[in-house]
Amino acid sequence: MKKNKPKNIKGIVVALKASFLIVEIDYQDFKEDSFYQFSEKIKLLCTRRAKLDYQGLFIDVGDIVSVESIDYNNKRAVISDVEPRISFLKRPAVANVTLVAICISVDQPLFDMEQASRFLLTAECSNIKALIVLTKIDLITKHDLILYVNKLKCWGYDCIPVSIQNSQGIDLLIEQLRKTKLTVLAGPSGVGKTSLINHLIPTASLPTSPVSKKLKRGTHTTRHVELFAIGEGSLLADTPGFNRPEIVCEPSGFAYLFPEFRTQLTNSKCKFRNCLHRDEPGCVIDKDLERYSFYCENLEEIINSPLPYQAG
């Protein structure tokens, strides 16, 4: 018996282009359909039903949506609904993220503790698991690399050191990405996020550019968030680099965004319940930890921010 073509089907938003959304749907849904015989994925250029705007439902890359009025010849459709998100990374804006892979280069541009921490705090604020991808390790010695890895361990983070020049760490990174549903590559401009995607998915062929010799910074080559398939059911997002992520947090919760402080606060309690871990007596935070002064400076900024609990 001929199956009825489904009225609307589910897909994932893989990119935003001007006022359109690119939605990828799975042709497998139609395999038994005698009219459409599909075997792979298809991208549709979509608009959205006005009712979604009235309902205040935003749609970003990573959102699972229902599409209807599908025109297969012209690859167009209309988004009629959006599923609730399991997570949302605010900047770069990506929905349903399961892992933020924060790319930080050891050189060109040089590793910057404050900048790296700001990216990590963004992931922590969104309650999304973070992993550091230490890039361009061909530019430093083995000895210096060990120092970086140990430093990040003290901050409470695992890292995967990689280089696309000599393929070091690439297999380990692929293994991690293939067991994760949606990984976002985030980080400053010029650290090599897009180069990594081109290396991992050669068909992507995305534009990259050298770091500015004068400013020693990236040149903001990637302008949009885009999702790419990597392995069965795993997605990887390239994102535009930016240099100083904003920290949005309440002063009392700030210390909990640092894994190395979190461990201390879980193991023992400060004398005062409202301790902000500065000069309060009976505070359990170890003031010798590397990121302690960064914590204090930014706490001050958060407290004195003209906007409620914003700094950056």
Chain residues binding Mg ion by CB under 5 A are 193-194, 221-222
Residue 253: name its binding partner from ligand GTP, Mg ion, Zn ion, none (Cβ under 5 to 8 Å by kind): none
Name which of residues 18 to 77 contact ligand GTP (CB under 6 A).
Answer: none
Site map (CB under 5 A) of Zn ion, residues 216-255, x = contact:
----------------------------------------
- Identify whether the C-beta of residue 77 lies closer than 8 Å to the C-beta of residue 48: no
Among 209, 251, 284, 300, binds ligand GTP (CB under 6 A): 209
Among 66, 190, 236, 258, binds ligand GTP (CB under 6 A): 190
**Pairing verdict, β 94-95 and 88-89:** antiparallel
Query: Applying CB under 6 A, which part among 57-65, 148-156, 161-169, 276-284 lies near ligand GTP?
Result: 161-169
Question: Toward ligand GTP, which CB reaches closer, 80 or 209?
Answer: 209
Question: How far apart (Å, rounded) are the C-alpha atoms in residues 62 and 98?
Answer: 11
Beta bridge partners of 78: 47, 68
Question: Toward Zn ion, which CB reaches closer, 90 or 278?
Answer: 278
CB of 111 to ligand GTP, least distance (A): 14
- What tokens appear for 43 in the block? 């991208």
Beta bridge partners of 12: 24, 64
**Pairing verdict, β 182-186 and 99-105:** parallel
122 binds ligand GTP (CB under 6 A): no
Helix orientation angle between 193-200 and 170-178, rounded to the nearest 10 degrees: 80
Among 211, 249, 255, 257, binds ligand GTP (CB under 6 A): 211
**Pairing verdict, β 99-105 and 310-311:** unpaired
Q: Cα 60–231–29 angle (5° rounding)?
A: 70
- Identify whether the C-beta of residue 243 lies closer than 8 Å to the C-beta of residue 188: yes
- What tokens appear for 139 in the block? 């530019």
Residue 291: name its binding partner from Zn ion, ligand GTP, Mg ion, none (Cβ under 5 to 8 Å by kind): none
CB of 239 to Mg ion, least distance (A): 8
Residue 147 DSSP SS3: helix
Among 164, 173, 248, 285, binds ligand GTP (CB under 6 A): 164
Residue 37: name its binding partner from ligand GTP, Mg ion, Zn ion, none (Cβ under 5 to 8 Å by kind): none
Contacts of 112 (CB under 8 A, 6+ apart): 188
CB of 113 to Mg ion, least distance (A): 23
Question: How far apart (Å, rounded) are the C-alpha atoms in residues 280 and 262?
Answer: 17
CB of 226 to Mg ion, least distance (A): 10
299 binds Zn ion (CB under 5 A): no
- Identify whether the C-beta of residue 62 lies closer than 8 Å to the C-beta of residue 12: yes
8 binds ligand GTP (CB under 6 A): no
Q: Which residues form the interface with ligand GTP (CB under 6 A)?
A: 135-136, 138-139, 163-165, 189-195, 208-211, 218-222, 240-241
Q: Which residues form the interface with Zn ion (CB under 5 A)?
A: 270, 275, 277, 283
